[in-house]
Amino acid sequence: MMNIIDIKDWGLGLSEHVLIAGPCSAESPQQIETIAKGLKGSPVELFRAGVWKPRTRPGSFEGVGAEALEWLQIAKDILNVPVTVEVAKTEHVDAALKAGVDVLWIGARTTVNPFSVQEICEALKGTDIPVMVKNPINPDLQLWLGAFERLNKVGIKKVAGIHRGFSDPYEKRYRNKPEWSLPIHLKRMIPGISVICDPSHIAGAREIIGAVSQRAINFGLDGLMIETHHDPDKAWSDAKQQITPDTLKIIYESLIFRKNVDEHPEMLNELEQFRQKIDLLDAQLLELFAERFKVIEQVGDYKREHNLAVYQPSRWEEVMESRIQDGLRKNMTEKFMKSLLFAIHEESVKKQEAQLKETRPLTKA
């Protein structure tokens, strides 16, 4: 069991819907000043800026380096909020701690590498600075979880996750495809952890930052980290996905934050009636599934006796086609019907394969 301190209790005045904003990269003291001034009057609670930039290919702007850490004080003075930077190595951690950075984050390209995460953890020993961990580039929950376990082992309790999407070569809409079930699983595996969303790196394009932000809120994530630049097109990194402080204010105002029922006991009572109905329906569904699998086993016996293959393609095609059509008529999506049918089919094939391996005698010759 991990020992976690929630974002609200980091002692930095961060709320349950934390907004983190600031440029992808710190470029100059003037740039930090202009962006911070633009953000005045916005609900920003934590200012971000990349100082060391992990770039996919060499030759692109790799960040100003430690020198830029001092410029963050400008944003702190203007906005009166804490600041955060990305760290990937021991030297980064040492320099950031020395410069009085309030929160650190570990980037997606670092979370994938347990050696790097461990190196950062060693450098953090003896401190209690909050650390946010972005999901690894690939949708591997264990790697993400592992980073939190390593941090916890060196005594870092103030942690949070950042969902920034996953690399997928077939994905066209997003730069990094969101996989909303992963942050939800992470929250289940580390009770009490806050997971915020980085719509900028998910979207890769400023036009859909608002839509991705709203989805993150709908899925119950705990805040947003949005890249903000006074002149996005001229930004030295991630130009296409950065938005101006004014656009950030407009997007933030358009977001709809939903109430959490746990904080509204009167609604919980009303919801309870529906929830009981759902519990009953789920129990009935499971009974039906159990019955269906019993028939599957009878079919399995028959196939074993007659030496028939477990997988019969024509039957499977027919089941898929007719059930999907039926599902569509009942207002379910094709995607849902396909995953449901695949799950049922996989379980059925497994059961029948196990039957084929049985050594009990056949009932009929």
User: What sections of the chain are H helices per DSSP?
Assistant: 29-39, 72-79, 90-98, 108-111, 114-124, 141-153, 181-189, 199-203, 209-218, 245-254, 265-305, 313-329, 334-357
Residue type, 293: F
Q: Minimum Å distance from CB 214 to ligand PEP?
A: 20
Tell me which stretch binds ligand PEP (CB under 6 A): 37-45, 104-112, 263-271, 272-280. 104-112
Residues 274-333 interacting with ligand PEP (rule: CB under 6 A): none
Phi, psi of 126 (to 5 degrees): 90, -5
Best CA proximity match to 204, nearest among 230, 168, 231, 246: 168
In terms of Cβ atoms closer than 10 Å to its own Cβ (0-12, 13-18, 19+), residue 76 is middle
Q: State in angstroms the smallest separation of the CB of 227 from Mn ion.
A: 6
Q: How far apart are CA 50 and CA 255, in angstroms?
A: 26
Q: Least distance (Å) from ligand PEP to the CB of residue 221?
A: 15
CB of 250 to ligand PEP, least distance (A): 22
Question: Per CB under 6 A, does 158 bind ligand PEP?
Answer: no
Closest-approach residue to ligand PEP (CB): 107
Looking at the Cβ atoms of 134 and 304, the one nearer to ligand PEP is 134
From the list ligand PEP, Mn ion, none, pick the one residue 108 interacts with, judged by a Cβ distance below 5 to 8 Å according to partner type. Answer: ligand PEP
Rounded (5°) CA angle 58-63-64: 130
Q: Is 24 in the site for ligand PEP (CB under 6 A)?
A: yes
- Stretches 19-27, 204-212, 341-349, 353-361: which one binds Mn ion (CB under 5 A)? 19-27
Question: For residue 60, what is the DSSP state?
Answer: S
Give the one residue of 22, 107, 130, 199 binding ligand PEP; rule: CB under 6 A.
Answer: 107
Report if residue 230 touches ligand PEP, rule: CB under 6 A: no
Residue type for position 171:
E
Q: Residues for the chain: how many in total? A: 365
Per-residue DSSP letter, 58 = T
Nearest-5° Cα angle at 47, 79 to 181: 140
Query: Could you give the angle at which helices 114-124 and 141-153 cross, rounded to 10 degrees?
Result: 20
Q: Which does 164 bind (CB under 5 to 8 A by kind): ligand PEP, Mn ion, none?
A: ligand PEP
* 24 is a contact residue toward Mn ion (CB under 5 A): yes
List the one residue from 137, 238, 252, 352 that touches Mn ion (CB under 5 A). Answer: 238
24 vs 46, beta carbon nearer ligand PEP? 24
The CB-of-24 to Mn ion minimum distance in angstroms stands at: 3
Structure tokens at 66: 């430690």
Amino acid letter at 78?
Answer: I
Among positions 36-95, residues that touch ligand PEP (CB under 6 A) are 50, 54
> From CA 182, how far away is CA 198, in angstroms rounded?
14
Residues in contact with ligand PEP, total (CB under 6 A)?
Answer: 10
The answer to whether the beta carbons of residues 199 and 216 sit under 8 Å apart is yes
- Residue 86 touching Mn ion (CB under 5 A): no
Please give the size of the binding site for Mn ion, defined by CB under 5 A: 2
134 contacts ligand PEP (rule: CB under 6 A) = yes
Handedness of CA 114, 116, 117, 123 (dihedral sign): positive
User: Site for ligand PEP (CB under 6 A): which residue of 150, 175, 201, 304?
Assistant: 201
Torsion over CA: 127, 128, 134, 138 (sign): positive
**Binding positions for Mn ion, rule: CB under 5 A:** 24, 238
**Binding positions for ligand PEP, rule: CB under 6 A:** 24, 50, 54, 107-109, 134, 164, 198, 201
